[in-house]
Structure 1
Amino acid sequence: MVSAALLTVIAVGCLIAAARLRQASWPVRGPYVAVIAWQALGLAWGISTIGALLAFGLAPYDRGVFGGLLSLLQDAASHDLYLSEIAGTSFGSAQIAAVVLAFGLTLLLFCGLMASFVQVVRTRRRHHHLLGLVAHDDPDVPGARILDHPVAAAYCLPGVLRSQVVISAGALRMLERDELAAVIAHEHAHLRQRHDLVLLPFSSLKRAFPHVTLVETYYSAVALLIEMCADDQAGRERSPKELAMALVRFGTSGSAAVPAGALAAAVDQPEVVTRVSRLLNPVGELSRRATITVLGSASILMVTTLGLWHLPM
């Protein structure tokens, strides 16, 4: 029962830490580090929550989570599995419910992840096919395909074998040449660093818990950090002011909606304001000490959480 209590503490602590991270100011200075922190908190929360339920439910085995699961599988394979008694060990209704809930939560998260992945792949495949029919190349706009649409839009469509940056005719008319180059650099940063895969676990959480406002809030926080990461990468190739002006133009022109499965240069108005302010008023990078502290804490959190699954109590 000790491992169940400790895993519960970690699960609750992850929620508290996520709320604090959402309000913290340092992620603006270190978006890459902040994304890693979000990933560690999300993964540790899932592992600790499932682990706490299993540790409580399998406590009669007195072998911890991993040992208890192994014993449970062995009893199930030998047909010695009963609702109230497993291999001579008494299980209460609360413990049976905890095990069922743990397996249910695991299935929910896994199915949410797989469903999100399959949906994104199918949507992108259809969109790639559609772009092959209606989009075209332009020698004056290298690195992007042009979509003859009057509304301003700029987005990238990731893929395993083929990835594309799409710029609408409306965006070409609206943006200056330098601003257009900055936007294309931003979208290529998304593709190179596969930001779509970073967002996938968080989008699967949205699918698993569609009516939980907290999950939507945290997803938006990670999405904004990913845009900042792409902004920083583009800023190494182009002037940050060029990208900021492009974002302002998108924000004031009423850009088109983002196609499903794509990552766009400008989506939400408040987020655009935050990014423009960051580009025009650099706040400096996160200190080396702070970076080491955050990454070290994330590593300790994961090691501790997984280690408690082996605690035989």
Structure 2
Amino acid sequence: MTGAALLALLAVGTVGGAHLLARARWTWRAPRLGIALWQALGLSWGVATIGALLGFALLPYRRGIAYGVPGLIGDQAARMGAPHVAALLAAIGLTVVLVVMLVFAIVRVVRARRRHRALLSLVSRRDSAVPGTLVLDHPGAAAYCVPGVRSSKVVVSAGTLALLDADELAAVLAHERAHARERHDLVLLPFASLRQVFPQIGLVGRCLDAVELLIEMAADDRARRHRPPRELATALLRFAAARPGPAPSGTLGVASPDDMPVMARVNRLITPNPVGRPARFAAGLAVPVIATLPLFLYVLPH
């Protein structure tokens, strides 16, 4: 039972780790590392939870998960009692739900982007002041990226062109191109689908919020490689004052109407405080360990 117990303990531990990481502020100083930790925790939770259920289901075979499955198939589950069958069905059910919801989230986002691209082809225009960018004739402040496999589109509103000066606008466009280049939309998909599976669990919503903020900070960091950080900081403050609406479904916007994340982003742009090398090394080492540990426990005898 060692493997199943360790997998159950690991599943509980990842939930505790998610609570701590959702409240952590050091990740703001290294957003890419924070995103990698979130991805490792999410993967580890799913694999460990399914593994704990499978491990309990396969206890009668006393060979662990990896070597117990052939025995299960060979004797058609003849040795399993009702609790073990229930655990097996729960493991299969959880796997199916997670996979189906992820596919559903992908299909929904793809459809939303297709509709929005079709709409943009009708209502947007090109402007020589912002080459390579689509402009919407709308007085409100808006700037967002429509990610894509073959081509991404960066969209700004006429209100944004009037709101920002040339340097601030260039910083905002660099931020949006960073979203497109690093495919941050793919990072968000598993967490968004997990919220669809567990909509009533507050921790899942906090996890998604934390990852969304880290993604914005990662795009800020890439943008300031090309533009002075103060330009993006002032642009974010102008956006916050203009109270922009939420970005369209399936897109990634430069700013939200929530003041707290905007001020956190502005503060780190103005006064950067990167994580020290020892802490960065330790966190970087933790990522592969957290992500792969459940797989090793799958082959541990029970």
Please state which band the TM-score falls in when normalised by the shorter chain: over 0.9
Structure 1 residue 154 and structure 2 residue 154: aligned?
Answer: no
Q: What corresponds to 1:23 in structure 2? A: 23
In structure 2, what is the Cα distance between the partners aligned to 1:304 and 1:269? 38
Q: What corresponds to 1:59 in structure 2? A: 59
Note if contact 2:19-2:203 (Cα within 8 Å) is conserved in structure 1.
Answer: no
Amino acid at match of 1:246: A
In structure 2, what is the Cα distance between the partners aligned to 1:59 and 1:277? 53
Task: Kindly state the Cα deviation for residue 139 of structure 1 after the two structures are TM-superposed.
Answer: 1.1
Unmatched tracts of structure 2, length 5 or more: none
In structure 1, what is the Cα distance between the partners aligned to 2:104 and 2:40? 22
Q: What corresponds to 1:261 in structure 2? A: 250
Task: Kindly state the Cα deviation for residue 261 of structure 1 after the two structures are TM-superposed.
Answer: 0.2
Amino acid at match of 2:33: V
In structure 1, what is the Cα distance between the partners aligned to 2:238 and 2:261? 14
Task: Kindly state the Cα deviation for residue 38 of structure 1 after the two structures are TM-superposed.
Answer: 0.7
- The alignment partner of 2:299 has SS state of coil
Q: Percent identity?
A: 49
Which of 178, 188, 198 is the matching residue for 1:209?
198
Amino acid at match of 1:262: T
User: How many residue pairs align between the two structures?
Assistant: 301
* TM-score under structure 1 length normalisation: 0.93
Structure 1 residue 291 and structure 2 residue 280: aligned?
Answer: yes
Task: Kindly state the Cα deviation for residue 292 of structure 1 after the two structures are TM-superposed.
Answer: 1.6
Unmatched tracts of structure 1, length 5 or more: none
Task: Kindly state the Cα deviation for residue 291 of structure 1 after the two structures are TM-superposed.
Answer: 1.6
Structure 1 residue 95 and structure 2 residue 84: aligned?
Answer: yes
Note if contact 1:143-1:184 (Cα within 8 Å) is conserved in structure 2.
Answer: no
User: What are the residue-to-residue correspondences of 1:125-204 with 2, within 5 Å?
Assistant: 125-204=114-193
Q: What corresponds to 1:301 in structure 2? A: 290
Q: What corresponds to 2:37 in structure 1? A: 37
Q: What corresponds to 1:282 in structure 2? A: 272
Q: What corresponds to 1:240 in structure 2? A: 229
Which of 205, 230, 244 is the matching residue for 2:219?
230
Describe the superposition over 1:55-74 as per-residue Cα deviations: whole angstroms up to 9, x where unpaired.
001111112112222333x3
Q: What corresponds to 1:109 in structure 2? A: 98
Task: Kindly state the Cα deviation for residue 150 of structure 1 after the two structures are TM-superposed.
Answer: 1.2
Q: What corresponds to 2:3 in structure 1? A: 3
Amino acid at match of 2:260: P
Describe the superposition over 1:14-54 as per-residue Cα deviations: whole angstroms up to 9, x where unpaired.
11111112222311111111110111011001100110010
Amino acid at match of 2:254: A
Describe the superposition over 1:107-145 as per-residue Cα deviations: whole angstroms up to 9, x where unpaired.
111011100000000110111111111111111112311
Amino acid at match of 1:271: P
